[in-house]
Structure 1
Amino acid sequence: MPSRIAEAMNQSSTTAGAFAAYRSLPALSGRAYLPIAFLARLPFSMNTLGVMVLVTATTGSVAAAGLSTAAASLGTAAFGAVQGKLADRLGQRPVLIVASMLNAVAAVLVVLAATGGAHRAVLAAACFLLGASAPQVGALARVRWIALMHDEPQTIGAAMGYESTVDEITFVLGPALVGVIATAGSPAIALLVAAGLVTTFGLAFALHPTANAPTRRARPVSGSTRHGSPRVLRRLVLPLVGMLGVGVFFGSTQAGVTAVAEAAGQAGIAGLLYAVLGVGSAITALALVAVPDTIGYRTRWVAGAAGLTLTTAATLLTDGPGQLAAVLAVVGLFVGPTLVTLFSVGGSLVPVAQAGTAMTMLVSANVVGVALGAAVAGSVADQAGAPAVFVVPLMAAALVAAAGLLSPRGPAGATSTTEVTSTSM
């Protein structure tokens, strides 16, 4: 009995210590950094749904909107990893400054093309540029934390959990902001607001002193670095497949909620419906730091993806926005832990010198999935409507689970995280 009490007290102390790691983050980065990095990634979460709602409103076709969204997503997929590689070589600051300014211009071009009735090829090109220039704030912020952590496993885990939570919060606020602006004003104004945010806070993120941290911590990698990207790619195959599946889930769910909102005659609430998904996700992503280190990444990955698959199946039984919102609130509980785990797995496989490449590869895989999911589900929505469209996110969740099952049984979470800066290529 005394041993059980001691064990419980020790577990409680460990959990308290895990959450205490969050309190060290502002001291490492500076307090101004947290709100700047938060607001800098908000435009990224606004643009995808903003394009979908804007094009749906101007063309009347969810399929056309899905193709436009796919063009934006493919732009990010094509150039996201390029940003990461350039940031590894040149430093984050110049890359982010150029990307932020170009992204603001691209948002204005998309609005002009959509509202001016431009040819769909012109609109698609503008959307591609919007995605290609999107500053990789989330990925590069993770690289900054890794460089600031000095190989402290629990603190790195807290940072990864915090970043995924911030991602989820912005993916709640971004679509919600699009929904509010689209309802009160127009979808075009929503994209223009995103352009203003990326100009202001994207540049502030680029100029913050933490942008120099990865350059200071990066160490030479054993062997040739000239072919580093292919080697990183080989290491990340299964996490990339998992991220691809999560992206398909996101893109197809966006198309699904848009179809449900359109069918209900309330197109503007699509952003609000999608935002529900992120509420539970943010909570569970933040709480994941309390999971014992003895529970390895593979177990976390499979458990999160299995829960995502089972709960997503319930979307096929929904009827109308109200029921869908209730189900999405539960589905979201499994999104956050899955994302945190995938980023942690990816981070554990590369050294700091190539962390930017690895993180942006993972983000790019996610974005490719968003493009595929939006395009396929948009077509299904036009032909079959809701709830049939939710077959696509269900299949995507199953793909994430399958990738997790195929992953090797690696070390426990804390041990793997230590490898972030010690694994040679």
Structure 2
Amino acid sequence: MHHPAPTVAHRSLIHHTGFWFFPVAFVARLPFAMMTVGVLALVVAVRGSVALGGLTSAAVGIGVVVAGPILGDLADRFGQSRVLVPTGLANGILLALFPVVVGSPIGDGFVLAAAVAIGLTGPQTAAMSRSRVMALIGDRVAADRRERTFSRAMAYESAADETAFVVGPFVVGLLAAVLAPWAPIVAAAVLSLIFVTAFALHPTGRVVPVAAQRGAMAPVRELLRPPVLMLVVAVIGVGAFFGSTLTSLTAFMEARGAAEAGALLYGVMGVGSAVLALAVAVLPARFSLRWRLVTFAILLFASAGAYSVGGSVVTVTAVLCLMGVGVGPSLVTLFSLAGHRAPAGRTATTMTVLASALTLAQALSSAVTGAVAERVSVETAMLFPAGAALIVLAMAALNLAQAGRWDATRPSSIG
């Protein structure tokens, strides 16, 4: 049996990706994170309706979800750069035109159609980055170090997602406050044109074998089996948690005459969430994925329950820190499980399905929460994150009961 030269086998993951891969992949995530919030902020500012803003944000999410799995499938078949270059360019152009559409006397229907188009071309950078990293680990990292490297890489990827989801809204809030409501969307357009293209053309894109080289791809129905479906439902819970928290928080702060502060406070949750997502990499291996999910889901549900009581800005801020501690590691663990359970040759598809579920749930819960806050009360809207956390907890319990059976029958996809 031929062993690889130790110098090659024991080189770090960054040696294989190249130094610029992670920074470029991170910045390339930002347009995606800025789109839903930027669209919401712009429509509310220009058209003066929180309900229409929520709907427009949801329209972007629906576009993303419809296109996500299709783009993932195409990337699995034909390679990532062929899919990402045209979608990134189209997305940048559509984003740049959006402020013109919103500012014109055109009807709401056209605004929603433009938002769907932005979503349809949303570059799935996060999912593509995960599948590249997984392919590199499987291909170039020594077998005895794969599991550890994989765990760290998934922790980093989720932390990068979290940070992008936080930095995105934060940058949107900042640019909108300092410059103008259209500034965040134009910034997202520029980032999409430059960084998504750079990510698409990065050499790591060639590491993921395309269907032609790889042979069999598992049929799509493999994605509909309980071990993967349970992850999709749990991720929907996390997305609903993000969307309902951001929207109810914005409504909570708007009632106190500082709507822009909503995005900044949301940043507090996100920063804690991202730090904890990274910290998952140092958790001992014996603290298994199924127990991690249960532990952090309980914490998420408890803190969301405290958030629903509301109270002062100070108590809400403190509770947001705790919510971040629950949500970051929960998301990392779900994506790690997905990495293990992805059907053969379907890594990009599996990751885009999860990313799309996250975005759809975020957008829909934003729309619903916004409508409830406007028509019923802010207090009612603040109950939604706890409902979303309950979904995550229920799936964590199901996974705890079934994981032994699900994961024993199939070989780990890494190692």
Pick the aligned partner of 2:102 from 94, 101, 114.
114
- Structure-2 separation of matches of 1:352 and 1:340: 21
What are the residue-to-residue correspondences of 1:280-295 with 2, within 5 Å? 280-295=272-287
Contact 2:228 2:342 in 1 (8 A): no
What are the residue-to-residue correspondences of 1:305-384 with 2, within 5 Å? 305-351=297-343, 353-384=345-376
Give the letter aligned to residue 196 of structure 1.
Answer: V
What are the residue-to-residue correspondences of 1:144-159 with 2, within 5 Å? 144-150=132-138, 152-159=146-153
Give the letter aligned to residue 198 of structure 1.
Answer: S
Give the corresponding residue for 1:230: 221
Give the letter aligned to residue 158 of structure 1.
Answer: R
Query: Structure 1 residue 207: deviation in Å?
Result: 0.5
The answer to whether the aligner puts 1:173 opposite 2:167 as a matched pair is yes
Give the corresponding residue for 2:51: 63
Query: Structure 1 residue 229: deviation in Å?
Result: 1.7
Give the corresponding residue for 1:15: none
Distance 1:335 1:37, change over 3 A: same
Query: Structure 1 residue 84: deviation in Å?
Result: 0.5
Contact 1:62 1:255 in 2 (8 A): no
The answer to whether the aligner puts 1:164 opposite 2:152 as a matched pair is no
Query: Structure 1 residue 126: deviation in Å?
Result: 0.9
Give the corresponding residue for 1:276: 268
Query: Structure 1 residue 177: deviation in Å?
Result: 0.6
- Structure-1 separation of matches of 2:315 and 2:56: 28
Pick the aligned partner of 2:239 from 214, 235, 247.
247
Query: Structure 1 stretch 296-305 or stretch 88-97: which is displaced more?
Result: 296-305
Query: Structure 1 stretch 352-361 or stretch 312-321: which is displaced more?
Result: 312-321
Give the letter aligned to residue 36 of structure 2.
Answer: T
Pick the aligned partner of 1:197 from 166, 191, 194.
191
The answer to whether the aligner puts 1:72 opposite 2:60 as a matched pair is yes
Query: Structure 1 residue 61: deviation in Å?
Result: 2.3
- Structure-2 separation of matches of 1:24 and 1:286: 17
Give the corresponding residue for 2:69: 81
Give the corresponding residue for 1:101: 89
Distance 1:212 1:283, change over 3 A: same
Query: Structure 1 stretch 212-221 or stretch 383-392: which is displaced more?
Result: 212-221
Provide, for residues 74-128 of structure 1, a one-character-per-residue CA deviation record: whole Å limited to 9, x for no partner. Answer: 1111111111000000100011101111111221232122222431111111111
Query: Structure 1 residue 189: deviation in Å?
Result: 0.8
Contact 1:62 1:259 in 2 (8 A): no
Query: Structure 1 stretch 312-321 or stretch 34-43: which is displaced more?
Result: 312-321
Query: Structure 1 stretch 152-161 or stretch 210-219: which is displaced more?
Result: 210-219
Structure 2: give runs of 5+ residues left out of the alignment: 1-10
- Structure-1 separation of matches of 2:344 and 2:25: 20
Find the residue that maps to 2:382 and give its secondary structure. helix
**When the two structures are aligned, how many residues end up with a matched partner?**
398
Find the residue that maps to 2:342 and give its secondary structure. coil
Give the letter aligned to residue 91 of structure 1.
Answer: G
- Structure-2 separation of matches of 1:246 and 1:136: 18
Query: Structure 1 stretch 80-89 or stretch 301-310: which is displaced more?
Result: 301-310
Give the letter aligned to residue 403 of structure 2.
Answer: G
Contact 1:214 1:352 in 2 (8 A): no
Distance 1:403 1:343, change over 3 A: same
- Structure-1 separation of matches of 2:228 and 2:313: 37
Distance 1:317 1:416, change over 3 A: farther
Distance 1:27 1:380, change over 3 A: same
Structure 2 length-normalised TM: 0.90
Distance 1:383 1:181, change over 3 A: same
Query: Structure 1 residue 322: deviation in Å?
Result: 4.0
Give the corresponding residue for 1:302: 294
Contact 2:94 2:118 in 1 (8 A): yes
Give the letter aligned to residue 316 of structure 1.
Answer: S
Query: Structure 1 stretch 119-128 or stretch 350-359: which is displaced more?
Result: 350-359
- Structure-1 separation of matches of 2:395 and 2:105: 42
- Structure-2 separation of matches of 1:174 and 1:365: 19
Find the residue that maps to 2:260 and give its secondary structure. helix
- Structure-2 separation of matches of 1:340 and 1:168: 9
Structure 1: give runs of 5+ residues left out of the alignment: 1-22
Query: Structure 1 residue 355: deviation in Å?
Result: 0.2
Query: Structure 1 residue 384: deviation in Å?
Result: 2.9
Q: Moved runs in structure 1, 4+ residues, more than 3 A?
A: 216-221, 319-323, 414-418
How large is the RMSD of aligned CA atoms in angstroms? 2.5
Contact 1:241 1:403 in 2 (8 A): yes
The answer to whether the aligner puts 1:92 opposite 2:93 as a matched pair is no
